[in-house]
Structure 1
Amino acid sequence: MNYYEHHIGDYAEATAHLTFIEDATYSRLIRKYYATEKPLPMDVKFVQRLINARSKEEKNAVISVLNEFFNLTDDGWRQERCDHEIARFKDRQIKARRSAEGRWQSSSAEQILSDSTTISVCDRNANALPTQCSPNTIHQSPITNLHTPDKQNNGAEKKNVGRSDQTSVQIIKLFAKEGINIPLDDGRIKEMIGMDISEKEIADAILQAKETRRRASSSTPINVGFVLAILKGMRRKSQANDLGEDIWWKSNEGIDVKGRELGMRAQGSESYDAFKTRIFAELRKREEVSNAS
């Protein structure tokens, strides 16, 4: 994305309490988010390096802004407004491409051929008009193997394509119920199919996305990218549970996640080791209360 809408009123209201450095930090973070079209890395130190936060005050500002305006997921630090704008941008891209392809396909034979006897290969420009046509004689001798289809392979391919299309339609219907329209060739649908996601998992992820918006008192509608991120998190959590592992304390990301589960946040310039120690103390306290009851 080389452009995004900046709503001055919304931004000013949401950031009025920030310090000068925190405001600059937030602006840099969302610009990086839009430029890469993906969540910020989970590693806070890497995020600090990405926006060139060097001083102690600048690094602390990154931590504060991430904790206040972003949500840590299995994909990294996500920002709901950014995800929504990126999804809108990609939807416009898809619609523009399909419109251009439709105009190209409807072009007359006179536009495509340079004359009535010579076959030409034409490149398309951004407006779907043929340009830079040059004679091409490569296909004057027919390739005979194209006229003799492999019946066995062709049948298998048709079956797989049919199943894939049916699954895509089901996914599209689930999102359509929420007022979200997705084109059949959307790459995120293919990604869900590749993950072998069930309809129930998608429905659960949509409910979780709506609940997340409600808890945050956010009027931003849910989108496909947000739901896909939740699906990935659900799948990874399920895999971790299958392995019986809970090693949150071994990474900064795990410490942040565990802290959020307990309703705890890092305090100012508090290090991860100190935060981890507080989390362990809180867990012991809750366990003692549970045992006493």
Structure 2
Amino acid sequence: MKTRTRHGIILIGVVSVLTSLLFLYNSSFTDAPEDQMQSDGHQMDILQQQTSHLEGYSSIIDHKPLRMHCKSCALVTSSGHMTGSGRGAEIDRKECVIRMNDAPTQGYQRDVGQRTSLRVVAHSSMQRVLRYRLELLNSSQNTFFIFWGPGNYMRQNGKGLVYNNLRLLKQMMPKLQVYVISRLKMQHFDELFKKETGKDRKRSNSWLSTGWFTMAIAVEICDRIDVYGMIPPEFCKSPKLELSVPYHYYEPAGPDECKMYLSHEQGRHGSHHRFITEKRVFANWARMFNIHFYQPDWRPAPVTKNSTDS
């Protein structure tokens, strides 16, 4: 009884510290400093190399590399397009199931499945993950968690507030498999964005989305990726688009997905996710790798060859 009480007190402390941290982070979101270092780029063929261990992802306590490889993966987005899909059993048949942030499965199994092999979590979603810890953490001993965040919050020198809270979480739940993305790997993801889009992420006032990290990680881990709930790049520009689809399947009264995507894509002041730009990149990757899109079902159009090409 005393042990449970002590753990409860510690957990309340974690939530309190984390709440303060997220308030601090949100208040300085647009001008939070990041570590800067020149990189020689991050080629897609490097991402594609599936090995028994993956560089750039280290466990929170002993800093061991992530060891994960799957022949088939279901990458389940949080999109409202998953509502009523009935894809749950199909998703659960994949060797590995990848989810993002705090997207739940309980109550949504018929549409999104119930298994989770890997969950990629943004630093800004930590509070919500803790809030739903009974589902997302307590029953997830077989799930790998990869957390990402800006360098000043993920430092391992005692000054990274998010990193420190993850260490405390791991001490409270020692069986939890918690990994973080290294500083160099984060820089590689930035370089990958620039290589694929021709745009410098920082100069364009952009923040990579959790979807970007998740798709890139999946390319490293999976031989085949079946993506569920991701719309094609031009979907939100369709003149026939009338149906409102929520941004998250578990928040039916939340913001409209296309309105969210378009407002971020067109935003020029402050920092924004470039959701549609990222989806153009994913469509390009699907032309090179074993990536397939469902709910809605679509495939990238073939690249049209210039008539002057021989």
Report the TM-score, using the length of structure 2 for normalisation.
0.25
Report the TM-score, using the length of structure 1 for normalisation.
0.26
Computing the radius of gyration over CA atoms, which structure comes out larger, 1 or 2?
1
Tell me which protein shows more helix as a share of its residues.
1
